[in-house]
Structure 1
Amino acid sequence: MKTWFITGTSTGLGRILTEKLLAQGHTVAATVRKPNALNDLKAQYGDRIWVEKLDVTDTLQIKEVVKKAFADLGQIDVIVNNAGYALFCAAEEASDEQIKQQIDTNITGSVQVIRAALPYLRAQGSGHVLQLSSAGGQTTYPNFSYYHLTKWAIEGYCETLAKEVAPLNIGVTIIEPGAHKTSFATAMVTAPIMDAYDNTPAGDVRRAVEAGSFPIKGDVNKTVQEMINCVNISPVPLRLALGGDAYRDMRAALATRLEALDNQKDVAMASELKD
């Protein structure tokens, strides 16, 4: 059995992951924004669930909570950066404050949780970081520009991190789910709609989301179990795509980018200094 530290466990995937881990006999350090959100699990599992309030946009609080978790629980085997949300609007529609909040939560918060945990993982000589990204960390959809900004950024960070910490026996896996029936969609933040984008792909996607036109086939329980399983895979997988839509959309995006790159090979090579 392992000890897991998970952010954003009040609802959605984080809550389901916490429940499944506890049911399987693991210990969970769960962080929440609302102190009483996990009272039912605390009553059921007692000392096997450690709960602390945490706002991942508060770097000082992150350091204090991570320090307390390691002090109280000793070794922590898996760090799960799950806290996050989506800002759903055309790029021009968002306010400066909304953009900052999206970045502070999805990028800076994740980075600072990892940075706070690394000294302890190094000291114990092992550990595994699971970073929640999305299929949207490899592909894009209109009306999600700022969400994609954060997911593409955190994937670049984690891919670099994985190279740095592998010699220290610390693994990093980027989790890339497709669409699942969780609280994610209802928790999306929106902005005032601009008429200029009504007859554009941004408007089309907005209307489709409002109408519930997108098929959602992701099985949350299976996805969460695959996340649990991946910490026992060797070598550690850098990425884990979860859901048929995630696989299809990411593969199509990667193939398109590779084709475009190959088409520019002559230009790229011509701009190189000659011997």
Structure 2
Amino acid sequence: MAESKMSEPGPSKTIIPAASFPTHNSPRIWFLTSALSPLSVRLIKLLLAHGDYVAAGLPPAEIENDDRSTEFRELINECKSGRKDREGWKDRIRGIRCDGRIMGQCGAAVAEAVEVFGRIDILLCCTAEAVVGTVEELSTNSATQNLVRDQFETIFFGQVNFIKATLPRLRERHNGHIMVLTGIGGHIGTPGMPMYCASTWALEGYCDSLAYEIAPFNIKLTIVQPNKEIAVLTNKIIFAPQLPQYESSNNPAPGLRDILTNVLNMNPETRLDPPSPIGTPGDDCGQASSTTGGSSQSIQSRFPLLPGETRDRLVMETVHALTAIGGHENPPARHIVGYEGVASVKEKLKTVSEELEDFVEVSCAVDIFSSDVGRAALSGDSKMDTSNGAITTGVEPPSI
């Protein structure tokens, strides 16, 4: 069992409980679509210590980045170290290079995992990257427009491909658990990150539908939603060039760009290049930058390099949620991690509910036929008459 961690999301300290696991009769085999993030590395350590097996997906572009892959390589060295507390770890982890955007590679990776470990019990879709830029900033030229497609290729199609590759094997065994790590961005739009939110919403809609389709085969599906900064600050961030109209001095809404820029600029290795003057070619220097075709500013990308203790405090609450839910006999369909996420989603649902009530008469006015359901909607009373299953209410809808 891991030691309890401390986090300070607010003025009062919150104790994150130690990792726990569902009761199971034998070790489970996990497949992680991306094993290089700080969250994935810490999860893998707990899984190996618990006795589980891990097939670790290694995106080629990330494993070749020294800064990105450092923690994972250190973990592999630990597994091979011969330390008594790491005994057997090297035989229970398999790194598999695969690009989730290529369906053939996903199928080959799943086949390799099954060949090595015999089966897959839990598929954890945890691939992420964040494109920062307003709708207009992502429409300025072909390079920024390609960022939109890339965002969907990574967050949506890249994970859907792994799900499609794994499903037939889970269905044949009539057992399995698919976990999808998203964020509260699946509920709440974020100014300055419209494509990140759009691709997350698309993935969650896909999973909500999929859950019904696979339930008859005893395959469970859980969406896990931590705060958006969990995924954003532990994966690649890509910045589209900023338009002056959306600078914070002119438009305070898309303030997330400034927040992320400040975080990255705290580390000299991830500092963002200042915008190029109009008419000056974009700059290619930095940890990972690429120029926009014909633009005076560059598209810049960075993997945040947070201090180790900060990374622990940021991700361990989510890591422990994944260990507690993964492979559970009756897992939740959706789990929100942390009180801040719960509060944010509750506020959004409250707003939706209030707006629905404000315009409920307009909504029901288009109904052609009078019904108990319509009357209940207008009255706000959804009590059921248990004698015949009908909704009972004495309020009549407005005449049409």
Match of 1:207 in 2: 258
- 1:53 counterpart (91, 97, 118): 97
Structure 2 unaligned residues grouped into runs of 5+:
1-26, 80-88, 139-143, 264-310, 371-400
Of 212, 220, 239, the match for 2:334: 239
With normalisation by structure 2, the TM-score equals: 0.64
1:48-197 pair list within 5 angstroms: 48-94=92-138, 95-179=144-228, 184=233, 187-197=236-246
Give 1:17's match in structure 2, choosing from 43, 46, 60: 43
Q: Return the offset for 1:201.
A: 3.5
Letter in 1 for 2:223: I
For 2:188, give the aligned amino acid.
T
User: Conserved in 2, the CA contact under 8 Å of 1:31 and 1:51?
Assistant: yes
Aligned AA (1:253): K
Q: Is 1:5 paired with 2:31?
A: yes
**Counterpart residue number, 2:376:** none
C-alpha deviation, 1:235, in angstroms: 2.6
| Greater Cα shift, 118-127 or 87-96 | 87-96
**What SS does the aligned partner of 1:139 have?**
coil
Q: Does 1:41 align with 2:66?
A: no
Determine the C-alpha separation between the residues in 1 that align with 2:104 and 2:235.
29
Deviation, structure 1 residue 183: 7.1
Q: 1:209 Cα shift?
A: 3.2
Greater helix share, 1 or 2? 1
Partner Cα separation in structure 1 for residue 29 and residue 366 of structure 2: 51
User: Whole-Å Cα distance in 1 between the matches of residues 346 and 340 of structure 2?
Assistant: 10
Q: Shift in Å at residue 106 of structure 1? A: 0.3
| Identity percentage of aligned residues | 29
Separation in 1, partners of 2:237, 2:164: 27
CA distance in 1, matches of 2:228, 2:44: 20
Give the drift of 1:267. 1.5
Q: Secondary structure at the match of 1:201?
A: coil
Return the letter of the residue paired with 1:193: Q
Pick closer, same or farther for the CA change 1:206–1:106 going to 2, 3 Å: same
How far, CA to CA, are the matches of 1:142 and 1:71 in structure 2?
45
Q: Distance in 1 between matches of 2:326 and 2:312?
A: 24
CA distance in structure 2 between the aligned counterparts of 1:245 and 1:180, rounded to whole angstroms? 12
Runs of 4+ aligned residues of structure 1 deviating over 3 Å after TM superposition are 34-43, 179-183, 216-219
| 8 Å Cα contact 2:39-2:234 kept in structure 1 | no
Instruction: Name the amino acid aligned to 1:249.
Output: S
Task: Check conservation: 2:33, 2:159, Cα contact below 8 A.
Answer: no
CA RMSD of aligned residues (A): 2.3
- C-alpha separation between the residues in 2 aligned to 1:118 and 1:169? 12
1:186-212 Cα distance to aligned partner (Å, 9 max, x none)? 621001000111222344332233335
CA deviation map 1:201-247 (0-9, x unaligned): 344332233335xxx99642232011111135443201111122211
- 2:322 aligned residue: 227
Q: Deviations over 1:13-61 (max 9, x none)?
A: 2222122211221100001124574444344121200111011111111
Task: Answer yes or no: is the 8 Å Cα contact 1:5–1:30 preserved in 2.
Answer: yes
Q: Distance in 1 between matches of 2:52 and 2:368?
A: 57
Whole-angstrom CA distance in 2 between matches of 1:163 and 1:78: 18
Q: 1:206 to 1:42 in 2, by over 3 A?
A: closer
Work out which of the residue numbers 341, 345, 358 in structure 2 matches 1:263: 358
Offset from partner CA, 1:124-175 (integer Å, 9 cap, x none)? 1100001011011111221110000011111111111111111211000001
Comparing both chains, which one has the higher relative contact order based on Cα–Cα distances under 8 Å and sequence gaps of 6 or more?
A: 1
Aligned length: 273
Q: Residue type of the partner of 1:196?
A: Q
For residues 151 and 176 of structure 1, the distance between their equivalents in structure 2, rounded to whole angstroms, comes to 10
* AA aligned opposite 1:267: V
Distance, in Å, in 2 between the alignment partners of 1:56 and 1:221 is 25
User: Counterpart in 1 of 2:84?
Assistant: none
SS of alignment partner, residue 223 of structure 2? strand
Query: Which sections of structure 1, spanning at least 5 residues, go unmatched?
Result: none
Q: Which amino acid counterpart does residue 257 of structure 2 have in structure 1?
A: R
Q: Tell me, in whole angstroms, the C-alpha distance in 2 between the residues paired with 1:21 and 1:185.
A: 20
Q: One-letter code of the match for 1:17?
A: L
1:91-131 CA deviation, whole Å, 9 max, x = no partner?
11121110010000100111111111000001111000010
